[in-house]
Structure 1
Amino acid sequence: MTDTPDLTSLRRIGWREATLPADPRRLARVVAQHRAGYEMHDGSSAFNAQPAGHFLKRGLDPSLRPAVGDFVFLDRATHPVIEEVLPRRSVLTRAAAGERYERQIIATNIDYVLVLTGLDGDFNPSRIERYLTLVEGSGARPVVLLSKADTGVDVDAAVSALVARLPDDASVHAINAKDPATVPLLASYLGPGSSAVLVGSSGAGKSTLTNTLLGEQRMATNAVRSHDSRGRHTTTHRALLSLPSGGCLIDTPGMRELKLTGEENLDLFADIETLAAQCRFADCGHGNEPGCAIQAALASGELSPQRWRNFLKLHDEREEQAATLEARLKRKAAPKPAGKPKRGEWRRGDD
């Protein structure tokens, strides 16, 4: 059975269902979001659209609004309006910067999160662990890409050091983002119907890699600073791109702050949780208590001090964010105090 022309077009933008929905409205995917509205693509052409009024209501959970990667229904007007967001198969989020708790969607309906970090001064295993922790529960699979493998660094040593800190099933690839040979290396993640989001620090080479995967110099690139290997933001907003391989790639601006949402399970550190369960005392503080399995693992080299410190940092941050989220939900659920009665309005108990 072959696809209809409309279904074939939608495959180009990552539609994975076997059939088209019965809904008569126009189906498209959000490929970019701007202050003036949304950029859409229906597999055949790109166009702009505005969100319906119910998406603009004050106090609406931002996660309910259209985001890059969403499939949506629009009306068929000359100036289209987004009327409905279809259920998401995956959502990658982080806590927004600042003191106010709010989740920020990075991308939706993705199969892979390509975590790109340079093998220069940008290389930081603890930050990679933070990225992978954010990916947990998103519904997408993380893939770590170590760029700048051509810059004279000891690639094997860096890869070995990172792999030692990650679960056995973690995917790690050292790449040269400028080399066309990278395209077949990543083909299994970017084939027809697949969608991936590319994340990493400014200067890691996201735009360079995107150009290589596109086969053309479409994205602007800049040199990095020599003292810290960081770059300026050449990508200013998230954008979904169709690749020659048949897959879709969402390029993102560099992320300087990666705050947990409070809903992570920290599955990345399951081995540490297993060790903690082996301590002699259930309430072990993992300090000087006798029979502490954590301290024994640190002493034997089974657990690296850096990984233990990063686990504690992420655990405490997760707990703090979870408490903030719970308090926020309680405030929203609390009944609103009754307002003052208007002039001439009677209330029970007034007489």
Structure 2
Amino acid sequence: MVHALPPAPVAPAVRDAATLSVAPMMDWTDRHCRIFHRLMSRRALLYTEMVTAPAIVHGDRRRLLDFDPAEQPVALQLGGSDPAELEAATRIASGWGYAEINLNVGCPSDRVQSGCFGAVLMKTPRLVAECVGRMIAASPVEVTVKCRIGVDDQIPEDVLPAFLETLRGAGVRRVAIHARKAWLQGLSPRENRDIPPLDYPLVHRMKQAFPDLHLSVNGGIPSLDAVRGHLRVLDGAMVGRAAYHQPWNILGGADRLWGDAPPFDRPDQVAQAMRPAIVAHLAAGGRLHQITRHMLGLFHGMPGARDWKRTLSEGAPKGGIEVYDAALHQVTRIAA
């Protein structure tokens, strides 16, 4: 039996930011990506890539956990299934000042499964409850969970409400739900993001069943209009690939969700504002491509987008700031 625990500490400002969040995405939402996204939205909640608890406990903590305060509010996503190790990682990470600590119960990759964490944990809700209970005890900020609606042959209509009930009993008060099942065998991570059908109505019904929980929906959300539709029912929407591949279309006007004016009127202004961070990164020995790979979709659907993407894709791996300036000059000339 899972005994009800006191809920994790709640910061109203972070909950408010979770109205719109950018999903944690491996190899994508690194610190460069987050700085770029933060330029477009002062309000949205950003997430790190998943970091495993063993890596934090035994590895290079500064490399794994350091971030720029300008990224805030930013949440750390942890991967793991050992309660003691997750508690230790949470305690360590708490010293970095993240706005939230999130447990990954949604990733279906073979590599993650082999470590017995991610979506496979939906099969062991009692273990998840123990993990988050220990994390909550170690964290000064809210501990949240990102999950699926079920895995393999589970029946989501039965599994998801029971899973949420277990999380609530463990003290969790905020959950992001990817509205697809995960098939742990037979589908790749990429296929698991597209092939299992989306069930938004089920996630919407969970808000009716659990009005005290802050629930966000994730999966296949293509636009800010779609975000607004979900927000009529739910507390938040978490956007993944659309925010990465079409960042201006999602984040450029995102702050209007809070009644705020966007920081910039045009994507070329964002590109110009990103230039000092790029110059500093190059001066520190970094490569242009490490930043610009996250920016290829900035002008998606606009005149000059193809030239911007081609110039950076071809020139950034070995080039310097002159490549970036040429790409920006090209796209602004075409758009003029």
More helix by share: 2
Same structural fold, with TM-score higher than 0.5 when normalized by the shorter chain: no
Q: Normalising by structure 2, what TM-score?
A: 0.31
Q: Normalising by structure 1, what TM-score?
A: 0.30
More strand by share: 1
